[in-house]
Amino acid sequence: MKRQKEVKKRHYIITRLVRPFVGLYFKIVYRLKINVPRVHKKDGPFIVLANHTVNPDPIIMGLSFPFHLYYIASEQIFNLGLLSHLLNYAVNPIRKSKSVSDINTIRKIKRIVEEGGSIGIFPEGNTTYDGITATIHPSTAKLIKMIKLPVLILNTKGLYLSYPRWAVFRKKGKSEIYLKKRLEVSDYENLTDDELYKVLIENLQVDAAKDQETSNVLFKGKNMAEGLQRMVFIDLDKKIPFVTYTTGNSLKSTMSDFELIYQTNGKLLTKAGKEVTLHEINNEVKSAYYAYYQTSPLQHLFVENVEMIESLPTKKISHGKVELNLRKDSFYFIGKDGPVNWHFDDITNIAIQGKRQIIIYMANKTYLVRLELSSSPYKYLLTYQIYNYIKFGGANIDEHLSKLGL
């Protein structure tokens, strides 16, 4: 039986038809400037890499080139019913699970490349929470060495501060996408995987706060701090978690006069009048929560009502609302068939999706947990990571803060 082609003319036609309208939207809403030299399809195919700052990054990357890009995407976009069918028809994304290595992903990439298609990858695998590039997956270097194509590395400026991952409302500023580095095959074919990995880290590393200091672009909006409790879920004065809330441009605590004021330069102002970056505050959150986890005598940490959704390859099944208990070593809830305890040892990975959802991967099942509107998915991820960090011999988290978070 003849295998269907992956690269189809309609993908290019659809991309070309929608590009002017989508480009106008981002030019107006994000004040986006594209500074990518014209790259000709005949010089490709290419592997295109970029740092991941906002959800529309794949669209913004696609606006930078006159040809269609085939993106590696989370498996969660493949079980959305009709929308998934439309996406497959129009752009043919490449499925990648966040829980396991997927040989089918590699096979599809190879087929697309053999047919002349270019691949788009966001090596962080997730959008940044605090404006600093998250961990780059080492497997990216191995993939590049395997595929052997020219590599285009893009960076963005201003997109994160226009719409931080935790934020409820978009802010008005300026943004830019530009070509940071072009690597020909001859530039990396003699490098080891580790050497190439270092090159990728160097050219994908971005810092939203430093970029803002250089550009002096301000990002204005209403209720600018709203949603910040999703990242800063702990009172950093009293070191008590799950007690913060936002009002207007401020994050406050129900347990003290702790307050952070979000400013138009994307920094936070403390009660003492000190400016701190979101990255600095995020490190404080991780350190303080680690200390709380270690010292609290309570096994039970937090409880809230959530919607439990089973994520299948082609569809999602809602199991309704449950009262989810976050414990130091597990998730506990009462399901339709009685008590359920998911021990962290039985969970292969946890990921944050969007602004208020977590994905729980187990050996044979995957669940999407939809939290309350103002809830922090970050606390679930950090709890799971801290448990595993301690389990595998971690001791002083202040020296290894990068091991926690996204």
| pLDDT tens track for 311-342 | 887 778 888 999 999 999 999 999 888 899 99
CATH code, residues 9-215: 3.40.1130.10
Under 8 Å between Cβ of 362 and 348: yes
Q: Please state the domain extents for the chain.
A: 9-215, 228-295, 300-403
CATH class of 300-403: mainly beta
What integer pLDDT is reported at residue 383 of this predicted model? 96
CB burial of residue 226 (10 Å; 0-12, 13-18, 19+): buried
Distance CA(253)–CA(236), nearest Å, equals 9
What integer pLDDT is reported at residue 221 of this predicted model? 95
What integer pLDDT is reported at residue 336 of this predicted model? 83
What integer pLDDT is reported at residue 368 of this predicted model? 92
Query: Per-residue b/e over 361-370, b at no fewer than 16 CB within 10 Å?
Result: beeeebbbbb
What integer pLDDT is reported at residue 388 of this predicted model? 93
Residues of the chain with pLDDT under 50: none
Residue 64: count of CB within 10 angstroms of its CB: 21
Q: What is the DSSP string of 313-332?
A: SS-EEEEEEEEEEEESSEEE
Token representation of residue 236: 């950093």
φ, ψ for residue 195 (rounded to 5)?
Answer: -65, -40
β-bridge mates for residue 302, sequence order: 326
Distance CA(101)–CA(124), nearest Å, equals 15
Token representation of residue 308: 């439990």
- Encoded amino acid at 177, one letter: I
φ, ψ for residue 93 (rounded to 5)?
Answer: -65, 165
What integer pLDDT is reported at residue 135 of this predicted model? 87
pTM here?
0.90
